[in-house]
Amino acid sequence: MAKYYTLKTLKNVLLTNVFLFLFPMISILNAASYYVSPFGNDSTGNGSESNPWSTPQKAADNVTAGDTVIVKPGTYYDTNGDGKIVEISRGGTLDKWITFKSDTKSGAIIDGKDRTTMFGFLFLKGANFIRIEGFNIKDLKDTGIVVNNENHDIYVYNNVIHHIGQLQTDIKGGQNGLYSGSNTYNITIDSNYFYEIGRNGTSTNHDHGIYISGNPAARLVIIKNNIFRNRDSGWPIHIYSATGGKFSQITIAFNTFYEENSTRIGQVLLATPIDNLLIENNIFFKPKGAGIRNSTCSGKTNITIRNNITDMAKIIDSESCNFKYSNNITNTNPLLVSPNNPNPEEADYSLTVNSPAIDMVAASDLVFYDYEKNSRPSDGNGDNIKAFDIGAYEYIETSNTTAPKNFRVNNINH
């Protein structure tokens, strides 16, 4: 039956349809791109590409939901002496995130000036739905990125975070690459490089690449595709509830860990009650003793540890906690290109052609690219079947190399 509109309802229908059609355009028009450059000016600039601001702080104070801040190559300091280089008070929404992005990878340097400034990025309450991408975050006195004000939906992607908190003190307060504190959740830490974090040689062990701490609430943390180069003062990843409460839903997958803490076991420390923890597809290379240190079985439920590779005899220091283990490969060198280069900037943690990490994971919904943005999975062993590689890198066959077929020497612990 045909519909007959009165003039009034027809007008409403048309208005509604016009509004629905225009609404997405209005959303796009409202989302602005702002620019920051060392050649800009916070007073006379307007954040446009031709008249940029000079500090990412100025941009953080002016963004609204959906905006993107593009930070041009240069070095950015704490210009007002409050100990923070970028303090973020404004947030996005579920559909309109705010992005802070270095225009070129590591080109925008968030610089603590020889460890005189405390924090790189610090999120205030309400600063949610925010992405931090591509920055070189270095030389902070305390912590690179602080997520500690009930923040949620934070995506930290493709940054290099290094030379943090290397002041030689005996204080217990930690110096961390990234800190996720009380009542924060939905935090994703993807494709970052953490190195030279914390004090050197004091054996205080309070300094960590990523420190997940505070009051747990529900946590929802995904740590994937990252590279960690350890120091002697803590762990690349440390999970610890200050209140004794229980964390939940933490995933540590497709990361590459290198180097030991000479005084402590493990590259990941599980020091707290946790439910629903997944540690899979990681390379634990040259840890002390084992890839994972488990300080207690108490309060740990639904823990799965699978498909990890380590050159040590154990993937975890104790396997007595009813965790689910499968396909962890021990006593096996992952055969990385040059992880031990004394210059962390020049070290290469990608896989060599004979690496046992290649094509070991048939399926995953956690990653579709690797640390270098190469797509995953790819066929790295020449059997015409695409599969995921363990660790932060997917092996990409080049014209100069030929992957051997059906070559595997693995010790598999089931």
CA dist 64 and 98 (Å) reads 7
- For position 389 contacting Ca ion by CB under 5 A, the verdict is yes
Q: Chain centroid to CA 335: how far?
A: 24
The contact pattern for Ca ion, residues 352-381, with x = CB under 5 A and - = no contact, is -------x------------------xxxx
Distance CA 133, CA 145 (A): 12
Among 29, 362, 385, 412, binds Ca ion (CB under 5 A): 385
Q: State which residue, 33 or 80, has the beta carbon closest to Ca ion.
A: 80
| Binding-residue total with Ca ion (CB under 5 A) | 13
Task: Kindly report the number of other CB atoms within 10 A of residue 84's CB atom.
Answer: 20
Query: Of 272, 350, 265, which is closest to residue 312 (Cα–Cα)?
Result: 265
Number of H helices, E strands in the chain: 2, 33
Residues making up the chain, counted from first to last: 414
Give the shortest CB-55-to-Ca ion separation in angstroms.
8
Min CB(291)–Ca ion separation in Å: 21
Closer residue to Ca ion in complex, CB, 18/362: 362
- Minimum distance from residue 359 beta carbon to Ca ion (Å): 4
- List 72, 84, 141, 229, residue binding Ca ion (CB under 5 A): 84
Based on CB atoms, which residue is closest to Ca ion, 49 or 82? Answer: 82
What is the distance between the alpha carbons of residues 102 and 35, in angstroms, rounded to a whole number?
10
Compute the least distance from the CB of residue 57 to Ca ion, in Å. 6
The neighbouring-strand residues paired with 258 are 229, 285
> Amino acid identity, residue 321?
C
Q: How far is the CB of 80 from Ca ion (least distance, A)?
A: 5
- Residue 345 in contact with Ca ion, rule: CB under 5 A: no
CB of 237 to Ca ion, least distance (A): 24
Instruction: Compare residues 216 and 380 and give the one whose CB is closer to Ca ion.
Output: 380
Q: How far is the CB of 348 from Ca ion (least distance, A)?
A: 18
Distance CA 380, CA 391 (A): 14
Please tell me whether residue 314 binds Ca ion under the rule CB under 5 A.
Answer: no
Q: Which residues contact 6 (CB under 8 A, 6 or more apart)?
A: none
User: Cα-atom radius of gyration of the chain, to the nearest Å?
Assistant: 23
Which tokens sit at 179? 């800190």
Closer residue to Ca ion in complex, CB, 233/355:
355
Identify which of residues 204 and 355 has a Cβ nearer to Ca ion in the complex.
355
Residues 168-227 that bind Ca ion (CB under 5 A): none
Structure token pair of residue 244: 């004794």
Name the residues that contact Ca ion, by CB under 5 A. Answer: 78, 80, 82, 84, 359, 378-381, 383, 385, 387, 389
